[in-house]
Structure 1
Amino acid sequence: MDKVILKNMPFDIPVGLDAWRRFHKPQPVLITIEAQPTSTLEPAAAKDDVNLSMDYGKLYKKVSSSLKAADPDAFPTVRALISHLVDLVSGCGVLDIDLLFPKALPQSTGGVLYRFQVDKSEIEVDTSSLALTVKQIACNCIVGVNPHERIYKQTVYVDISIPMVDPAVGVGAIEEHYTAALHDMVQTIWERVEGSTYHTIEALATAAAQVVTVNYGHTVAKVRIEKPSAIASIEAAGVEITRSKTFFENKDFWKVKLP
């Protein structure tokens, strides 16, 4: 389980849509690579010789130079960028790539995080997975059971995590999630949370999961909601739920609206 790690490499790259739904506009991205070499790092440790390891300095220069010299049209989608990064890392069994776009959506204070893993440890078999998380959608709403919470709106932060059914990467891969559909989904969640008056964040989280699965067709969604103002002495209180699309058959959780 030895790993070589490059954490939060900052770049400005035109990838897919920016926060204002424009193509070919550079946007900040933080790239993290965790590579598990096919051989252990023990020889490098035993002889104190970097040449016996996967040299992270050389890997960083390789990644940096390739992205800085990339054609503006090289990464029309996030999947194309992931594929490019996978090709740059050789000699590893398991590769994890995190792409954080901190300003990808105007409603999200935490940005959009893509997590890709490919396992090449089995001969002639590559297993991969891809998921995204929209972090900290900031909303103001009536939520809570206390009398003062029924009078004043408070800020809540909503995280939405979605596993991609198709983990394929590359220029030709379908990019259904990082198009206007993702922007539309987050806008819908923001509008509905802002317009709600639930007593519990459990119900609010379930309603958000319904939007993601039923309205936008994702098979499953993990929703995390935090209330920073719930308990004065701690950073936040919250809940996290995971709901599938089939869970919402014959159910409707948008029962509470503004009076």
Structure 2
Amino acid sequence: MDKVILKNMRFDFPIGLDAWRRFRKPQPVQITIEAQPTSTLEPAAAKDDVNLSMDYGSLYKNMSAALKEPHPDAFPTIRSLIALLVGLVPDCGLLNIEILLPKALPHSTGGVLYRFQIDKSELEIDTSSLTVTVRQIACTCIVGVNPHERIYKQTVFIDISVPMVDPAVGVGALEEHYTAALHDMVQTIRERVEGSSYHTIEALATAVAQIVTLGYGHTVAKVRIDKPSAIATIEAAAVEITRSKTFFENKDFWKVKLP
């Protein structure tokens, strides 16, 4: 399980849509690489020789050079960036890539995080997965059982994680429409949540999962809701649920209760 890690490399270049749904506009990009070499790092440790390891200095230089001033059309999709990064990492058994676009959505204070993993540990078999998480969608709504919570709105923060259903990597697997749908989904969730009134964040999280799956076609959604005002002496109380599209086929959890 030895790993070489490059954490939070910061760049600024155009990728997909920006927060205002514009193409070819630069935006901040943070990249983390975790590479598990095909052999352990013990030889490098035993002889204290970087040539026997995966040289993270050279890896960073190669990535920095490739991403310093890319062409405005170089990364129309997140997958096109992933394809470049995978090609720059030397042979490894397991590769994890995290790409954070911290300002990709106007109402997401935590940004949009893409997590890609490719496993080459099995001979002639490469398996990969890609998920996207919209972090900390800020909403104000009526939620809670206490009398004052039924009068005043409070802020909650919503995280939504869904799989990118096509695991193919490359510019041929375009997701412009997918990215635009992500903007639409967040806007819909904010409008529905801010018009709602629930006693529990469990019910609110379930309603959000229903929008994500039935409204936007995702097979499964993980929804986390943080309620910072719930208890004064802690940072937040939170609930996290995972629900599939089939779970909602014969159910209707969305309900707007008036206070």
- The whole-number CA distance in structure 1 between the counterparts of 2:257 and 2:29 is 37
1:185 Cα deviation after fit: 0.4
Matched-pair contact (CA < 8 Å) for 1:78–1:178: no
Cα-to-partner distance string for 1:207-227 (whole Å, 9 max, x where unaligned): 000000000000000000010
- 1:237 counterpart residue number: 237
- 2:58 counterpart residue number: 58
1:178 Cα deviation after fit: 4.4
SS of 1:82's partner is helix
For the aligned residue pairs, the C-alpha RMSD in angstroms reads 1.1
- 1:3 counterpart residue number: 3
Higher mean C-alpha displacement, 94-103 vs 68-77: 68-77
- 1:42 counterpart residue number: 42
Against the structure 1 CA distance between its residues 19 and 65, is the aligned structure 2 distance closer, same or farther, given a 3 Å change threshold? same
- 1:193 counterpart residue number: 193
Higher mean C-alpha displacement, 175-184 vs 85-94: 175-184
- 1:126 counterpart residue number: 126
- 2:81 counterpart residue number: 81
- The whole-number CA distance in structure 1 between the counterparts of 2:24 and 2:258 is 40
Cα-to-partner distance string for 1:148-200 (whole Å, 9 max, x where unaligned): 00000000000000012211111001316742101000110111111110111
Matched-pair contact (CA < 8 Å) for 1:120–1:126: yes
1:122 Cα deviation after fit: 1.4
1:70 Cα deviation after fit: 2.0
Percent of matched pairs sharing the same residue: 82
Matched-pair contact (CA < 8 Å) for 1:16–1:178: no
* Residue 251 (structure 1) aligned with residue 251 (structure 2): yes
- The whole-number CA distance in structure 2 between the counterparts of 1:5 and 1:178 is 30
State the AA in 2 paired with 1:123.
L
Against the structure 1 CA distance between its residues 176 and 251, is the aligned structure 2 distance closer, same or farther, given a 3 Å change threshold? farther
SS of 1:179's partner is helix
**TM-score under structure 1 length normalisation:** 0.98
* Residue 70 (structure 1) aligned with residue 66 (structure 2): no
- 1:164 counterpart residue number: 164
- The whole-number CA distance in structure 1 between the counterparts of 2:33 and 2:15 is 18
SS of 1:148's partner is helix
Cα-to-partner distance string for 1:208-259 (whole Å, 9 max, x where unaligned): 0000000000000000001000000000001000000011112111222446
Segments ≥4 residues shifted beyond 4 Å? none
- The whole-number CA distance in structure 1 between the counterparts of 2:61 and 2:184 is 37
- The whole-number CA distance in structure 1 between the counterparts of 2:195 and 2:134 is 20
Name the count of aligned residue pairs. 259
- The whole-number CA distance in structure 1 between the counterparts of 2:152 and 2:202 is 19
- The whole-number CA distance in structure 2 between the counterparts of 1:211 and 1:248 is 10
- The whole-number CA distance in structure 2 between the counterparts of 1:69 and 1:149 is 50
Cα-to-partner distance string for 1:95-140 (whole Å, 9 max, x where unaligned): 0000000000001000000000001111111100000100000000
Q: Runs of 5+ in structure 2 lacking a partner?
A: none
- 1:210 counterpart residue number: 210
Q: Runs of 5+ in structure 1 lacking a partner?
A: none
- The whole-number CA distance in structure 2 between the counterparts of 1:56 and 1:258 is 56
* Residue 93 (structure 1) aligned with residue 93 (structure 2): yes
State the AA in 1 paired with 2:252.
D
Alignment of 1:141-156 (within 5 A): 141-156=141-156
SS of 2:222's partner is strand
State the AA in 1 paired with 2:101.
F
